[in-house]
Chain A
């Protein structure tokens, strides 16, 4: 099977969810002749490349920059084929409205699933190459020579025979009139000069001086500000509120009911909007889920662990026969709780509405979905709306949802002709997440007399993201994304272990807590379940955990290579320092192979993580410096979840409202991270997410080595290590 992250490639549904009645736009391959044909004025050479007379190269970036470095990486890919001077490169975002108007020339705007580069490397490079052809053709025409006699280097075109040179800046206007080449041959990776280099990112300087403008920083003449509160009880709604009690508070312009569940205040400043909202008497109708709690959800999932009915991903051999065959049988139950994305920048968007037009400025991971949400909320056709993207103060999957965009437009409709900036409080952000779903997992394994793993059953019980967020992508009721990293042969992520009898299945249990794609998604807990339980099996077999895995991995050399690299990096075959213990884990996800090895010690019931060595094989690497940063950041994200992350549910709502109760990893606990990048070529894997999945297993396995305790119910903060 193939995993469903590629569902959007054809007949892409532009919309924040199927339920909102999205707008279907056919997605043809965006690099076509029509798409390249000129509909804008020079100096646009083509949709991807604008060259100014001073030789500045503006590269258009369709995906969203949220810290992951995609802006720089995608620009490198275009610049490589363009053969321009990297020091003259800048970038800009086309708007989703322009994309619609130009027949989706820029392809998919959606930025998630670590797909920015691996899904668009081909057509953005073609865009750069086509622009180069047109620039050279323009110079050749001017000189009356053939293009093949001309060469180009760093934006300078040379005709060697006649010793003439010109620049891209001088040729841009003429190039725009050239016919785009029908097809272009991309460079052999061995000839890359810009791709594969650890170039500095293009967006650092402004982030050091406070000049970088985020969505929360936007300001427009006459702009008003808004704060909202939605019913915190999932499935509940507003019972009543008393607008009159706050409408004369300083600065308040309007108290607005946005829909059944949400009330907001529009004021001159955000602080006054929030102050009035806090003072607003609201009573909630707690709705049908008021008795739902973490305990009731855990019960629901527990039942699924033993249920007869389940969606079966793999069923090879016969696990049951093995389990009753007299060998050693081990069984353990693991659990992973709800997590909030907790981006540093809370959800926000600014909207301007008139009866003719609606415009939105938003940090969004999916500009086109934002456009669809804005149009729907405005009640206007898409062509009368547009979305202006701003850099995100973190995304991690949360900003693929469009609730905050819809709300901003609903508020702006109350004051036509005036910009309204909506910012959520942290509390609103914590209570209205698109939560990493909760699952439990029962692992059962059988060992023969020689300690070989003969059978494994992995029963996942719990929540499906697709069932809630994108039901049209389900496959006969099954959510394939649940099985990330566990498939037999998906290029997205397949299991490294060859086990003669193997069953992997999912009992879907969907509690009424809205789930979403959370950086790393289901790979995170699948890696914990698989890699920690393999450690349990190795221990039961009395075999070194690395050796135990190696035996099962002979058919998967790429998985094994990263595991070996991480193990070697940590010094697996040499003794650790006194009191220090080691653990490791590996998995494949988002198209890349990753592994980690960790060193920890425990004293007075407290764990210290000393050092982590991580290995990644992403196939091709575009910018190793940015990969290193993604790998390091992945440990912070993954370890925050493993150590602290937990949204508990009580009374049908999330109980954590801010960072005082939703704790995350801080500086003092951050281990040293050593990153090994080992690109083996021939494929394109993502790097923003996969490493998160190996953070927890490596550390939890090291913790077992240190304490003999198996932590199976996350997070770690709930356990006594003393």
Chain B
């Protein structure tokens, strides 16, 4: 039995302790916005936040997360798609197939949390997620727009 705090809710799940957090999120908790694509921390499709830090959940065993640590998935990023990144993503129409996009947005949200005004180099260094459809330039533009948005608002 594992206790997890996910998107602000405490949940108990009956699961083998070495199950990757990704699969607990998807299969036990039914939150399928977080995606499986490589399973070896290479692509970022499974990116979530643990205490605000962007984390690739496919290689993190559920037993490594303490009950009080706050797990955030794409479903919890905003109640209605109104996070500045989601708004910028919509304005730039970033997604193509969309499969990598939840991970991209979560990685970007992690970046902005650490660094509200990232340079191109910061973005290059931090957003190493794979997108096979090739949305990188629009991901970059949307991050910059969201950063400007947040900075202006703040």
Q: By DSSP majority rule, is chain B's interface helix, strand, loop, or mixed?
A: loop
Chain A residues contacting B45 (CB-CB under 8 Å) are: 344
- Identify the interface centre among A213, A271, A640, A673: most chain B CB within 10 Å of its CB: A271
CB distance from A662 to the nearest CB of B (A): 9
Give A201-219 as 1s and 0s: 1 = Cβ < 8 Å from B's Cβ atoms: 1011111111111101101
In contact, B127 and A667 (Cβ under 8 angstroms): yes
In whole angstroms, what is the CA distance A272 to B3 when docked?
Answer: 20
> Known: A207-B95, A343-B132, A667-B128. Contact between A213 and B42, CB under 8 A?
no
In whole angstroms, what is the CA distance A665 to B98 when docked?
Answer: 17
Q: Does B31 contact A (CB under 8 A)?
A: yes
In contact, A672 and B137 (Cβ under 8 angstroms): yes
In contact, B74 and A664 (Cβ under 8 angstroms): no
Chain B residues contacting A216 (CB-CB under 8 Å) are: 32, 35-36
Q: Does B93 contact A (CB under 8 A)?
A: yes
In contact, B43 and A210 (Cβ under 8 angstroms): no
- Identify the interface centre among B39, B97, B124: most chain A CB within 10 Å of its CB: B97
**A: contact size bracket:** 35 or more
Chain A residues contacting B124 (CB-CB under 8 Å) are: 667-668
Chain B residues contacting A673 (CB-CB under 8 Å) are: 137
CB distance from B89 to the nearest CB of A (A): 5
> Known: A207-B101, A667-B124. Contact between A271 and B133, CB under 8 A?
no
In contact, B132 and A636 (Cβ under 8 angstroms): yes
CB distance from B2 to the nearest CB of A (A): 14
In contact, B42 and A67 (Cβ under 8 angstroms): no
CB distance from A169 to the nearest CB of B (A): 28
- Identify the interface centre among A200, A207, A213, A394: most chain B CB within 10 Å of its CB: A207
CB distance from B96 to the nearest CB of A (A): 3
Give B5-41 as 1s and 0s: 1 = Cβ < 8 Å from A's Cβ atoms: 0000000000010011001001110111111111110
Q: Does B117 contact A (CB under 8 A)?
A: no
In contact, B140 and A667 (Cβ under 8 angstroms): yes
In contact, A67 and B130 (Cβ under 8 angstroms): no
CB distance from A633 to the nearest CB of B (A): 3
In whole angstroms, what is the CA distance A636 to B19 when docked?
Answer: 34
Chain A residues contacting B138 (CB-CB under 8 Å) are: 629, 632
Q: Does B102 contact A (CB under 8 A)?
A: yes
In whole angstroms, what is the CA distance A217 to B134 when docked?
Answer: 22
CB nearest neighbor in B for A670: B136
In contact, B40 and A659 (Cβ under 8 angstroms): yes
In contact, A344 and B93 (Cβ under 8 angstroms): no
The list of the 10 closest CB pairs from A to B, nearest first, reads A210-B33, A636-B134, A393-B99, A67-B97, A633-B134, A207-B98, A67-B96, A217-B32, A668-B124, A210-B74
Chain B interfacial positions (CB closer than 8 Å to A) = 16, 19-20, 23, 26-28, 30-40, 42-43, 45, 73-75, 77, 81, 86, 89-90, 93, 95-102, 105, 123-125, 127-140
Chain A interfacial positions (CB closer than 8 Å to B) = 66-69, 200-201, 203-214, 216-217, 219, 225, 250, 269-272, 342-346, 391-396, 423, 425-426, 625, 629, 632-637, 640, 658-660, 664-668, 670, 672-673
25 chain-A/chain-B pairs, Cβ below 8 angstroms: A66-B97, A67-B96, A205-B90, A207-B95, A207-B102, A208-B86, A208-B89, A211-B33, A214-B99, A216-B36, A217-B32, A269-B23, A271-B23, A344-B43, A344-B132, A629-B93, A629-B135, A634-B134, A636-B131, A640-B132, A659-B38, A664-B130, A666-B129, A666-B130, A670-B137
